[in-house]
Amino acid sequence: MQRIVKKTKTAGKERSKDAHSSQCFWVNNGPICRNIKELRDALSTMSDEQFDYHTKRDGNDFVRWIRDVLGMKECAGKVARAKTRAGALRALAGVK
């Protein structure tokens, strides 16, 4: 049985909770992320090669995880428009 994390909206902004342990995001040769904060931390320290691995192979893994696991469609859309790690970090700034 898949457990999808529900989102809540606070003052018009999406807010995420932790993903179930079976749905965490595994950064290639890097940390495991359970939520947006941990993804932000990972993005700030990962290499460009790690970022490219998740964004240039077969779609954008970050976008799919944010949208499909965390259920944050608006946030996923912002990250989808980002073409760099810095842009993805800007898109996630302020998301709790």
Confidence at residue 15, expressed as pLDDT on a 0 to 100 scale: 72
* Average confidence (pLDDT) over 11-40: 89
As a whole number of angstroms, the distance between CA 96 and CA 85 comes to: 18
Q: Alpha carbon of 41 to those of 20, 57, 70: distances in Å? A: 19, 22, 17
What beta strand segments (E) does the chain contain? 8-10, 13-15, 25-26, 32-33
The yes-or-no verdict on residue 14 having pLDDT over 90 is no
pLDDT above 70 coverage of the chain, percent: 84
Distance CA 62, CA 79 (A): 8
Name the nearest CA neighbour of 91 among 30, 33, 77: 77
pLDDT at position 7 is 47
| Mean pLDDT of all residues belonging to the chain | 88
Global pTM value: 0.82
Taking 70 as the threshold, does the pLDDT of residue 66 lie above it? yes
